[in-house]
C-alpha cells in the first residue's frame, strides 16, 4: 500500500499517534518552528519540513539562528523590501529554507532576485490569474540560467520528476497531490488538499481511508480526464500534459497558459535530451 | 506469421454511423457457437503443427467482442488449453474493442490469454460514434473514458483508431491534441473513412483531403514526437523513410495474401476483416477447410500477382512503391471494381509525403530523403532512380530560421533570389533576427518576417549539417552551393549575393568622412575570437601601407579594439549602413566576417585573412585570400559544430595563433597592388545592386 506523506498541524498528541511516517508539520508562529521539528523527529517520524504560514512578508520575518538544520517552507504573501532582505541574506543562506510565494507579478520578479541571491523559493501557481509571460521568463531562468542560482519551484520539482511518458502532478511541489499527500486535521480527518482541509471537506478518518481506500482519491487522481467529457478547451491544448487542466483559464486566456505549458514541455524535452546525451558521453573513459 | 481476424460476434452495443458491420443487413446476429469455437482452436493447432516455423495472431474483432462476456473467453481459453497443448506458446491474442463495456471481470481471462493491450476507436467531436440506436455519443465518450481508465488500472495498454471523415477536416489539430492528451499507452492511428453506403457519401473524403488532414497535424507531431504517444501513419513513415526500418501496416505491406484471413461467426473464412464486412473473397467454411488450404485458395494465389503487376504497370514510376505496394486491394475494389488495381488512397500517402513530410523532415534532418529500401520489394527490375523531392506547398509558407550570423543572412538572401527566379510562387516566412532583418526585409521570396506561431512548419538552413558540406581532399563544397541544394536548386550555381535594396553610397557618410585619393576600410572584427588577428599585428599592417594619400577607416563592433592609425567607425554602422559605406572605398582588408561578403556584394576588391575557416568554402573568386596554416594541435580545429564554447575565448596559443603567422608584408603588397590598379570610386558610387557579382 502507498503510505501517503502527511501534512498536519503542530499537535503533539496527533503527531505522537503516527509512527515512522513522513510528516510536514504546519505552524503559524515562528516561535514554534524549532519545537515542531524536534517533536516530529523525537516521536519517530521522518520530518519532511516545517511549514510556517507567515502573516508577515519575508523582510519582516523573524528568522532565527536556531532554525538551522530545520527544513523549512516559509509561506508568505510577499518578499517585502529588499534592502531589509539583504541584511538577512547571510542567515537565509545558512538556513534550509524555501520561501513559498503566490504567483503575483511582484513575487515572480522577486523570486528571481531571491534565487540569484542563493535563496530557494517556490512560486505557487494555483489559478489562471498569472502573468504567464513573466512566469515563462522565470521558468527559462530557472531551467536554463547559466549563472549560479538557487532552485525555483515548482520548476525544479517538475524538471526533477519529469518523464515523457506519464502525466506529472506537480502540485506536489506545494503538497497538493492526493497520490502523495494527505492533509490531516487534529481529529485525524483526511482532506485531499489544503483547500479542502480549510473547507472541512474530509474523505474520512485516516485509519479508515488507509485501510479501505477511497473512491474520492481515485476520482481526484482521475480528475484530469473530466476535461475530455466536458466541453473544455483544455482537452485540445498542447500543454495539457503538464497542466492537466488544473489551471482553468477564463475566456480568452487559454492561449496564454497554453503557450506557457507548451513552452515548458519543450524545455523539459530539451533538458531530458541533454541529460541523455550527457549520460551517453559519460560512458567514454576520461582522465 | 499468420493473422486471423476473428469475429465471433457481429453484434455491437454501439451504432457508429460509418460501421460496415452494424448496418449490414446480412450481418450475423448470433455469436459463434462453442462447437465452431472449439473447431477454430483445433484448426489453429493443426496449422501450427503443419507449419512449425509459423506463429499465429488471433485478433478478436466484431461487432463488439466484449458483448460475449467473460465466460465466452473462458471457453476459448479452455479450448486452447485442450487442443493446443503443444502450440499454445505460438498463439498470441489481440483484441479490438470499443472498451465501453470493459469491466475488471474480463481481466483474469485476458491475462491468461496473454492479452496485454486493446485496440479501440474513438471520436471526440463528431456524433458519428454512439451507443445504441440513438447513437448516443455523450454516453459513448463517458463509457469510453471509464473503460480505458479501468483497463489501465488493470494493467492493460490501449491504443486507438480515429476515423477521418468529412466532419474531421475542419479541426485536425484539435482532434490530434485531444487524442494524444488522453495519453494512451498504445498508439493513435488516423485512418480514412471507407464509405460504401451512398447515403453516407457526405462523410467520404478524398485522398487529397486525407493528406491535408494529416499534413495539418504533422508539424505538431514532428516537433513534439519524443513526448507524445506513437502516432500512425507518422511513426511508420519515419521508421520506413528516415530510419530505414520499414514498418508497414497490412494495407501497405503487399503481402496480406500470405498472412491474413478472417473468420465470421458462422464459420465462413474470408480474405480479411474488411472482405468479411463487404462479403467478398469468401474462401469457404472452417468446417471444410484447413487454414493452410485457405492460404492456398486459388483466389488468393491470383491476388498474389497483384503486386508484381502493379510494380510493372500503374506503380512503375512511383518512388513510394515500397511504402504502399499499391495499397489495400479491397479499397482498390471499392473504388475501381478491380482487386488488381492500385488503391486510390496511395495518392493520399504520396501527397502527404511530398507536400508535408519531406519538406519538414528534410529540413530538420539534413541529408535524409526518401530512399525506399524495404526488403520485400516485389519489383522484378531495379527500381527507377528516385528524385529528391523538396517542393513545399504548405497551406502557409514554410518558416526559415536564419541560423548563423549576418553573413549567412546575406548568402540566404542570394540563394532565395535564385529560388524566386526558379519558383516564382514560392514564398517563405523568416524568423525575426534583430541583426538580419534589415538585410532581408522586402525580399520578394519572403512573405513575412516575425515570430512563428506554435506548431509552425520549419525548414532548417544550417548548411553545416549537410553531409557534403566542407573540404574533402581537393574538393570543397561551398556554403553557398550547399545552401542552394537545400532549396532544390541545381548546382553549381552563380554565387550572386543580393540584398532587397539598392546599394549606393550614403551621402551623409560621404560628406563627413575625411576621404582621400585612396581609401581603405579594415575590419578585424569577428564574433569568433579564433578568426581574429591581434590588434598589434593589425597596427603593424596598417603601418606598412599607410601614407598621406591613403585614408584608412576601421569598422566593427563598439567593443573591438581600435587599431591606431585608422579612423574609427566602431559601433556606428548597422549591416545595411556598412553596405552603403563600401562604395566609398577602394579596398577592404578583413577577416572572415560579414564585411568580406559585403565586399563581394558591392564588387569591391578585398583582401581576406583566413585562419580556422577555409576560404575555399566561404571566400569568393576575385578576392585575395591569405590562408593561415593551422598551427594548433587540435585535430578537430577550433571552430565547428559542437564547439560553440570556444567562440568566446581567445586562442590558447596566444602569439602562436595561426592568423598571427600571416605575412604582413605579403598582405600589404596585395593592398598596394589593389590601390595601384585602383578602380574608380565614381563608377561604384552609381552602381546599383542587381546581381552584379561574378559567378563562381
Q: Does A164 touch chain B (CB under 8 A)?
A: yes
Question: In terms of pLDDT, which residue wins out, B54 or B126?
Answer: B54
Please answer yes or no on whether B224 and A269 come within 8 Å at the CB atom. Answer: yes
Given a cut of 80, whether residue B354 has pLDDT beyond it is yes
Please answer yes or no on whether B182 and A228 come within 8 Å at the CB atom. Answer: yes
Is the domain of A43 the same as that of A154?
Answer: yes
Is the domain of A31 the same as that of A139?
Answer: yes
Is the domain of A254 the same as that of A118?
Answer: no
Closest CA to B379 of B302, B326, B316, B324: B316
Going by pLDDT thresholds of 50, 70 and 90, the confidence category of residue A101 is very high
Closest CA to A13 of A212, A185, A192, A238: A185
Please answer yes or no on whether B177 and A236 come within 8 Å at the CB atom. Answer: yes
Q: Tell me the pLDDT tens digit for each residue of B563-595.
A: 999 999 998 888 888 888 898 899 999 999 999
ipTM of the complex as predicted: 0.86
State the pLDDT at residue A165. Answer: 62
Is the domain of A157 the same as that of A229?
Answer: no
CA B367 to chain centre: 11
B contacts of A266 (beta carbons < 8 Å): 224
What gap in Å lies between CA A57 and CA A75, rounded to an integer? 9
Please answer yes or no on whether B174 and A236 come within 8 Å at the CB atom. Answer: yes
Q: In 10 A of CB B91, how many CB atoms? A: 18
Q: What is the distance between the terminal CA atoms of chain B, rounded to a whole angstrom?
A: 58
Q: Does A228 touch chain B (CB under 8 A)?
A: yes
Q: In 10 A of CB B52, how many CB atoms? A: 9
Please answer yes or no on whether B141 and A229 come within 8 Å at the CB atom. Answer: yes
- ∠ at Cα B550 (B545, B552), nearest 5°? 80
Given a cut of 50, whether residue B378 has pLDDT beyond it is no
Nearest Cα residue in chain A from B124? A228
Closest CA to A33 of A57, A13, A61, A2: A61
Buried b (16+ CB within 10 A) or exposed e, B478-490: bbbbbbbbbbbbe
| CATH class of the domain comprising B507-685 | alpha beta
Given a cut of 90, whether residue A224 has pLDDT beyond it is no
Going by pLDDT thresholds of 50, 70 and 90, the confidence category of residue A277 is confident
State the pLDDT at residue B475. Answer: 60
Phi and psi based region of residue A51 (left: phi greater than 0; alpha: psi -120 to 50; beta: remaining): beta
State the pLDDT at residue A286. Answer: 63
What gap in Å lies between CA B470 and CA B489, rounded to an integer? 18
CA–CA distances in Å: residue B484 to residues A144, A190, B424, B481, B598: 35, 67, 16, 5, 19
Q: Tell me the pLDDT tens digit for each residue of B406-449.
A: 888 999 999 998 888 877 777 888 988 888 888 898 898 898 89
State the pLDDT at residue A247. Answer: 79
Please answer yes or no on whether A225 and B145 come within 8 Å at the CB atom. Answer: yes
Give residues 348 to 367 of B whose Cβ lies within 8 Å of A. none
Q: Does B274 touch chain A (CB under 8 A)?
A: no
State the pLDDT at residue B62. Answer: 85
Is the domain of A116 the same as that of A238?
Answer: no
Asked if B76 and B112 touch (Cβ cutoff 8 Å), the reply is: no
Nearest Cα residue in chain A from B147? A225
Q: Tell me the pLDDT tens digit for each residue of B17-43.
A: 888 887 777 777 789 999 999 999 999
State the pLDDT at residue B390. Answer: 30
Asked if B527 and B467 touch (Cβ cutoff 8 Å), the reply is: no
* Joined grid coordinates for residue A183: 492533509
Is the domain of A254 the same as that of A137?
Answer: no
CA–CA distances in Å: residue B302 to residues B281, B288, B309: 12, 21, 11
* Joined grid coordinates for residue A233: 478547451
What gap in Å lies between CA B173 and CA B215, rounded to an integer? 10
What gap in Å lies between CA A202 and CA A193, rounded to an integer? 10
What gap in Å lies between CA B113 and CA B88, rounded to an integer? 10
Q: Does A255 touch chain B (CB under 8 A)?
A: no
Is the domain of A131 the same as that of A229?
Answer: no
What backbone phi and psi angles, to 5 degrees, belong to B105?
Answer: -60, -25
State the pLDDT at residue B376. Answer: 34
Report the gap between the CA of A262 and the closest CA in chain B (Å).
9
CA–CA distances in Å: residue B362 to residues A87, A146, B368, B384, B488: 57, 32, 6, 21, 11
Question: In terms of pLDDT, which residue wins out, B488 or A113?
Answer: A113
Residues A145, A151, A157, A158, Cα dihedral to 10°? -10
The pTM for the full model equals 0.65
What gap in Å lies between CA B249 and CA B328, rounded to an integer? 10
B contacts of A268 (beta carbons < 8 Å): 227
B contacts of A238 (beta carbons < 8 Å): 177, 220, 224, 454-455
Contacts of B117 (CB under 8 A, 6+ apart): B94, B156, B157, B158, B159, B185, B186
Is the domain of A139 the same as that of A265?
Answer: no
* Joined grid coordinates for residue B247: 514498418
Beta bridge partners of B680: none
Which run of H or of E encompasses B540?
A: helix B535-545
B contacts of A164 (beta carbons < 8 Å): 226-227
Q: Does B178 touch chain A (CB under 8 A)?
A: yes
Shortest CB distance from B454 goes to which of A241, A262, A269? A262
Task: Determine the residue among B124, B177, B222, B458 to mutate to test chain A binding: the one whose Cβ has the most chain A Cβ atoms within 10 Å.
Answer: B177
Going by pLDDT thresholds of 50, 70 and 90, the confidence category of residue B403 is confident
What gap in Å lies between CA A87 and CA A92, rounded to an integer? 9
Lowest mean pLDDT among A42-56, A175-189, B675-689: B675-689
Average pLDDT, chain B: 83
Please answer yes or no on whether A266 and B224 come within 8 Å at the CB atom. Answer: yes
Q: Tell me the pLDDT tens digit for each residue of B90-141.
A: 999 999 999 999 999 999 999 999 999 899 999 988 788 999 888 899 999 9
* Percentage above 70 pLDDT, chain B: 87
Which run of H or of E encompasses B231?
A: strand B231-232
Shortest CB distance from B227 goes to which of A222, A225, A265? A265
Going from N- to C-terminal start, the domains of chain B cover 1-120+249-304, 398-486, 507-685
State the pLDDT at residue B368. Answer: 35
Given a cut of 50, whether residue B383 has pLDDT beyond it is no
Task: Determine the residue among A136, A221, A230, A235 to mutate to test chain B binding: the one whose Cβ has the most chain B Cβ atoms within 10 Å.
Answer: A235
B contacts of A262 (beta carbons < 8 Å): 454
What gap in Å lies between CA A194 and CA A27, rounded to an integer? 14
Given a cut of 90, whether residue A249 has pLDDT beyond it is no
What gap in Å lies between CA A67 and CA A191, rounded to an integer? 29
Nearest Cα residue in chain A from B143? A229
Report the gap between the CA of B178 and the closest CA in chain A (Å).
4
What gap in Å lies between CA A270 and CA A268, rounded to an integer? 5
Given a cut of 60, whether residue B372 has pLDDT beyond it is no
Given a cut of 90, whether residue A48 has pLDDT beyond it is yes
Pairing of strands B56-60, B470-472: unpaired
Q: At what angle do helices B406-422 and B594-601 cross, to 10 degrees?
A: 40
Task: Determine the residue among B227, B456, B642 to mutate to test chain A binding: the one whose Cβ has the most chain A Cβ atoms within 10 Å.
Answer: B227
> Among all chains, which residue has been given the C-alpha cell 525555483?
A152
Q: Does B453 touch chain A (CB under 8 A)?
A: no
Q: Tell me the pLDDT tens digit for each residue of B267-291.
A: 999 999 989 988 889 999 999 999 9
Task: Determine the residue among A237, A238, A260 to mutate to test chain B binding: the one whose Cβ has the most chain B Cβ atoms within 10 Å.
Answer: A238
What gap in Å lies between CA A66 and CA A76, rounded to an integer? 20
- ∠ at Cα B62 (B57, B66), nearest 5°? 90
What backbone phi and psi angles, to 5 degrees, belong to B645?
Answer: -65, -20
Q: In 10 A of CB A13, how many CB atoms? A: 7
Average pLDDT, chain A: 89
Q: Does B127 touch chain A (CB under 8 A)?
A: no
Please answer yes or no on whether B226 and A269 come within 8 Å at the CB atom. Answer: yes
Residues B337, B338, B341, B345, Cα dihedral to 10°? 40
Is the domain of A35 the same as that of A119?
Answer: yes
State the pLDDT at residue B169. Answer: 94
Nearest Cα residue in chain A from B148? A225
Q: Which of A161, A177, A195 is the last residue of a domain?
A: A161
Range B486-504 average pLDDT: 83
Residue A27 structural domain: 5-161
Task: Determine the residue among B181, B216, B451 to mutate to test chain A binding: the one whose Cβ has the most chain A Cβ atoms within 10 Å.
Answer: B181
Is the domain of A134 the same as that of A270?
Answer: no
Q: Does residue A188 fall inside a structural domain?
A: no
Q: Does B75 touch chain A (CB under 8 A)?
A: no
Given a cut of 70, whether residue A157 has pLDDT beyond it is yes
Shortest CB distance from A228 goes to which of B141, B220, B224? B141
Closest CA to A204 of A185, A218, A181: A185
Q: Does residue A173 fall inside a structural domain?
A: no
* Percentage above 90 pLDDT, chain B: 42
Q: How many CA atoms lie within 13 A of B103 on its CB side?
A: 7
Going by pLDDT thresholds of 50, 70 and 90, the confidence category of residue B473 is low
Going by pLDDT thresholds of 50, 70 and 90, the confidence category of residue B680 is very low
Asked if A127 and A104 touch (Cβ cutoff 8 Å), the reply is: no
State the pLDDT at residue B679. Answer: 46
A contacts of B454 (beta carbons < 8 Å): 238, 259, 262
Q: Does A133 touch chain B (CB under 8 A)?
A: no
Please answer yes or no on whether B145 and A236 come within 8 Å at the CB atom. Answer: no
What gap in Å lies between CA B432 and CA B443, rounded to an integer? 13
Given a cut of 70, whether residue B465 has pLDDT beyond it is no
Structural domains counted in chain A: 2
Nearest Cα residue in chain B from A165? B227
Going by pLDDT thresholds of 50, 70 and 90, the confidence category of residue B643 is low
What gap in Å lies between CA B433 and CA B451, rounded to an integer? 10
Beta bridge partners of B58: B4, B93
Q: Does B149 touch chain A (CB under 8 A)?
A: yes
B contacts of A273 (beta carbons < 8 Å): 226
Q: Does A166 touch chain B (CB under 8 A)?
A: yes
State the pLDDT at residue A164. Answer: 66
Closest CA to B205 of B381, B65, B335, B61: B335
Going by pLDDT thresholds of 50, 70 and 90, the confidence category of residue B628 is confident
Range B347-354 average pLDDT: 91
Q: Does A262 touch chain B (CB under 8 A)?
A: yes
Q: Tell me the pLDDT tens digit for each residue of A13-34.
A: 999 999 889 999 999 999 999 9
- Helices and strands (H, E) in chain B, number of each type: 27, 22
Is the domain of A26 the same as that of A121?
Answer: yes
Question: In terms of pLDDT, which residue wins out, A250 or B693?
Answer: A250
Collapsing DSSP to helix, strand or coil, A135 comes out as helix
Q: Does A208 touch chain B (CB under 8 A)?
A: no
What gap in Å lies between CA B65 and CA A253, rounded to an integer? 44
Shortest CB distance from B226 goes to which of A164, A241, A262? A164
Q: Tell me the pLDDT tens digit for each residue of A56-86.
A: 999 999 999 999 999 999 999 999 999 999 9
B contacts of A276 (beta carbons < 8 Å): none
CATH 3.20.20.70 is the classification of domain B1-120+249-304: yes
Nearest Cα residue in chain B from A268? B227
Q: Does B220 touch chain A (CB under 8 A)?
A: yes
State the pLDDT at residue A130. Answer: 85
Given a cut of 50, whether residue B386 has pLDDT beyond it is no
Going by pLDDT thresholds of 50, 70 and 90, the confidence category of residue A150 is very high
What gap in Å lies between CA B331 and CA B356, rounded to an integer? 24
Going by pLDDT thresholds of 50, 70 and 90, the confidence category of residue B631 is low
**In terms of C-beta density within 10 A (0-12 exposed, 13-18 middle, 19 or more buried), how is residue B383 classed?**
middle
Q: What is the CA radius of gyration of chain A?
A: 20
Please answer yes or no on whether A164 and B227 come within 8 Å at the CB atom. Answer: yes
Q: Tell me the pLDDT tens digit for each residue of B516-556.
A: 889 999 999 988 888 889 999 999 999 998 888 899 999 99
What gap in Å lies between CA A2 and CA B121, rounded to an integer? 33
Please answer yes or no on whether B181 and A164 come within 8 Å at the CB atom. Answer: no
Closest CA to A271 of A125, A137, A156, A136: A156
How big is the A-B interface in CB pairs under 8 Å? 51
Contacts of A230 (CB under 8 A, 6+ apart): none
- Provide the residue count of chain B: 696
* Joined grid coordinates for residue B78: 479452455
Lowest mean pLDDT among B398-402, B643-647, B684-688: B684-688
Asked if A110 and A78 touch (Cβ cutoff 8 Å), the reply is: yes
Q: Does residue A206 fall inside a structural domain?
A: no
Longest pairwise C-alpha distance within chain B: 111
Lowest mean pLDDT among A100-109, B352-361, B535-544: B352-361
Contacts of B102 (CB under 8 A, 6+ apart): B66, B118, B147, B150, B151
Range B318-339 average pLDDT: 88
Please answer yes or no on whether B181 and A241 come within 8 Å at the CB atom. Answer: yes
Report the gap between the CA of A235 and the closest CA in chain B (Å).
5
Q: Does residue A264 fall inside a structural domain?
A: yes
What gap in Å lies between CA B97 and CA B597, rounded to an integer? 64
Given a cut of 80, whether residue B461 has pLDDT beyond it is no
Lowest mean pLDDT among A144-148, A190-194, A265-269: A144-148
Amino acid at each position: 500500500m502507498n503510505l501517503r506523506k502527511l501534512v498536519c498541524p503542530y499537535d503533539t498528541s496527533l503527531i505522537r499517534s503516527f509512527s515512522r511516517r513522513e510528516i510536514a508539520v504546519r505552524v503559524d508562529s515562528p516561535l514554534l518552528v524549532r519545537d515542531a521539528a524536534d517533536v516530529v523527529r523525537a516521536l519517530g517520524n521522518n520530518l519532511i519540513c516545517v511549514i510556517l504560514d507567515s502573516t508577515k512578508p519575508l523582510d519582516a520575518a523573524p528568522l532565527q539562528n536556531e532554525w538551522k538544520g530545520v527544513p523549512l517552507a516559509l509561506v508568505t504573501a510577499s518578499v517585502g523590501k529588499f534592502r531589509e532582505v539583504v541584511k538577512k541574506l547571510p542567515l537565509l543562506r545558512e538556513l534550509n529554507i524555501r520561501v513559498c510565494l503566490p504567483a503575483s507579478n511582484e513575487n515572480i520578479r522577486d523570486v528571481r532576485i531571491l534565487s540569484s541571491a542563493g535563496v530557494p523559493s517556490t512560486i505557487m501557481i494555483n489559478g489562471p490569474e498569472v502573468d504567464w509571460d513573466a512566469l515563462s521568463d522565470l521558468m527559462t531562468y530557472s531551467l536554463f540560467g547559466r549563472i549560479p542560482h538557487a532552485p525555483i519551484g515548482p520548476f525544479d520539482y517538475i524538471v526533477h520528476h519529469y518523464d515523457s511518458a506519464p502525466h506529472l502532478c506537480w502540485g506536489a511541489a506545494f503538497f497538493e497531490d492526493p497520490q502523495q499527500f494527505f492533509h490531516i486535521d487534529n481529529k485525524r480527518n483526511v482532506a485531499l488538499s489544503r483547500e479542502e482541509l480549510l473547507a472541512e471537506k474530509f474523505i474520512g478518518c485516516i485509519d479508515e481511508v488507509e485501510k479501505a481506500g477511497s473512491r474520492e482519491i481515485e476520482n481526484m487522481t482521475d480528475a484530469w480526464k473530466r476535461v475530455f467529457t466536458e466541453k473544455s478547451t483544455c482537452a485540445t491544448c498542447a500543454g495539457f500534459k503538464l497542466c492537466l487542466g488544473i489551471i482553468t483559464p477564463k475566456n480568452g486566456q487559454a492561449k496564454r497558459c497554453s503557450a506557457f505549458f507548451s513552452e515548458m514541455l519543450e524545455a523539459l524535452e530539451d533538458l531530458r535530451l541533454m541529460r541523455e546525451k550527457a549520460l551517453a558521453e559519460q560512458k567514454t573513459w576520461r582522465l | 506469421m499468420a493473422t486471423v481476424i476473428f469475429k465471433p460476434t457481429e453484434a455491437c452495443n454501439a451504432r457508429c454511423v460509418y460501421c460496415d458491420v452494424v448496418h449490414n443487413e446480412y450481418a450475423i446476429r448470433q455469436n459463434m457457437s462453442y462447437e465452431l469455437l472449439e473447431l477454430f482452436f483445433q484448426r489453429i493447432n493443426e496449422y501450427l503443427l503443419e507449419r512449425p516455423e509459423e506463429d499465429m495472431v488471433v485478433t478478436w474483432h466484431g461487432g463488439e467482442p466484449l458483448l460475449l462476456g467473460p465466460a465466452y473467453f473462458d471457453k476459448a481459453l479452455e479450448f486452447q488449453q485442450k487442443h493446443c497443448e503443444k502450440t499454445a506458446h505460438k498463439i498470441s491474442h489481440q483484441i479490438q474493442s470499443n472498451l465501453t463495456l470493459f469491466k475488471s471481470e474480463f481481466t483474469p481471462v485476458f491475462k491468461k490469454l496473454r492479452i496485454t493491450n486493446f485496440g479501440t476507436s474513438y471520436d471526440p467531436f463528431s456524433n458519428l460514434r454512439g451507443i445504441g440506436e440513438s447513437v448516443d455519443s455523450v454516453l459513448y465518450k463517458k463509457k469510453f473514458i471509464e473503460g480505458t481508465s479501468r483497463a489501465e488500472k488493470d494493467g492493460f495498454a490501449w491504443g486507438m483508431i480515429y476515423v477521418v471523415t468529412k466532419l474531421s477536416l475542419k479541426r485536425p489539430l484539435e482532434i490530434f491534441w485531444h487524442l494524444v492528451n488522453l495519453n494512451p499507452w498504445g498508439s493513435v492511428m488516423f485512418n480514412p473513412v471507407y464509405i460504401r453506403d451512398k447515403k453516407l457519401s457526405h462523410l467520404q473524403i478524398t485522398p487529397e483531403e486525407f493528406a491535408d488532414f494529416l499534413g495539418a497535424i504533422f508539424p505538431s507531431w514532428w516537433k513534439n514526437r519524443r513526448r507524445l504517444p506513437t502516432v500512425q501513419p507518422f511513426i511508420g513513415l519515419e521508421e520506413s523513410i528516415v530510419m530505414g526500418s520499414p514498418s508497414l501496416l497490412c494495407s501497405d505491406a503487399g503481402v496480406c495474401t500470405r498472412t491474413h484471413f478472417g473468420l465470421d461467426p458462422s464459420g465462413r473464412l474470408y480474405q480479411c476483416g474488411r472482405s468479411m464486412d463487404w462479403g467478398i473473397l469468401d474462401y469457404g467454411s472452417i468446417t471444410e477447410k484447413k487454414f493452410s488450404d485457405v492460404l492456398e485458395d486459388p483466389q488468393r494465389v491470383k491476388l498474389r500477382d497483384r503486386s508484381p503487376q502493379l510494380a510493372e504497370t500503374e506503380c512503375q514510376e512511383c518512388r513510394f512503391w515500397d511504402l504502399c505496394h499499391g495499397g489495400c486491394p479491397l479499397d482498390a475494389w471499392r473504388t475501381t471494381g478491380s482487386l488488381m488495381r492500385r488503391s486510390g488512397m496511395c495518392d493520399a500517402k504520396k501527397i502527404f509525403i511530398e507536400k508535408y513530410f519531406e519538406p519538414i523532415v528534410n529540413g530538420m534532418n539534413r541529408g535524409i530523403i526518401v530512399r525506399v529500401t524495404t526488403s520485400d520489394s516485389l519489383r522484378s527490375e531495379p527500381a527507377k532512380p528516385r528524385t529528391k523531392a523538396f517542393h513545399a506547398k504548405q497551406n502557409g509558407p514554410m518558416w526559415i530560421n536564419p541560423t548563423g550570423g549576418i553573413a549567412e543572412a546575406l548568402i540566404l538572401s542570394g540563394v532565395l533570389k535564385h529560388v524566386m527566379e526558379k519558383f516564382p510562387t514560392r514564398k517563405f516566412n523568416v524568423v525575426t533576427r534583430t541583426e538580419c532583418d534589415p538585410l532581408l526585409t522586402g525580399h520578394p521570396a519572403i512573405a513575412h518576417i516575425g515570430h512563428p506561431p506554435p506548431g509552425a512548419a520549419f525548414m532548417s538552413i544550417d548548411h553545416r549539417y549537410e553531409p557534403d558540406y566542407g573540404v574533402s581532399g581537393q574538393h570543397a563544397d561551398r556554403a553557398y552551393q550547399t545552401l542552394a541544394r537545400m532549396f532544390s536548386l541545381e548546382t553549381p550555381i552563380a554565387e550572386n549575393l543580393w540584398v532587397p535594396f539598392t546599394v549606393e553610397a550614403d551621402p551623409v557618410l560621404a560628406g563627413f568622412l575625411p576621404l582621400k585619393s585612396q581609401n581603405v576600410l579594415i575590419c578585424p572584427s569577428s564574433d569568433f575570437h579564433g578568426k581574429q588577428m591581434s590588434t598589434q599585428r593589425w597596427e603593424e599592417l596598417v603601418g606598412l601601407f599607410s601614407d598621406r594619400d591613403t585614408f584608412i577607416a576601421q569598422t566593427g563592433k563598439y567593443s573591438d579594439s581600435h587599431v591606431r592609425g585608422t579612423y574609427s567607425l566602431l559601433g556606428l554602422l548597422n549591416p545595411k549602413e556598412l553596405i552603403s559605406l563600401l562604395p566609398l572605398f577602394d579596398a577592404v582588408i578583413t577577416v572572415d566576417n560579414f564585411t568580406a561578403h559585403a565586399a563581394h556584394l558591392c564588387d569591391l576588391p578585398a583582401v581576406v585573412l583566413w585562419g580556422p575557416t577555409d576560404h575555399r568554402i566561404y571566400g569568393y573568386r576575385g578576392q585575395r585570400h591569405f590562408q593561415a596554416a593551422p598551427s594548433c594541435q587540435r585535430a578537430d580545429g577550433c571552430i565547428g559544430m559542437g564547439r560553440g564554447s570556444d567562440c568566446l575565448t581567445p586562442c590558447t596559443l596566444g602569439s602562436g595563433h595561426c592568423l598571427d603567422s600571416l605575412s604582413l608584408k605579403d598582405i600589404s603588397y596585395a593592398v598596394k597592388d589593389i590601390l595601384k590598379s585602383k578602380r574608380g570610386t565614381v563608377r561604384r558610387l552609381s552602381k546599383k545592386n542587381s546581381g552584379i557579382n561574378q559567378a563562381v
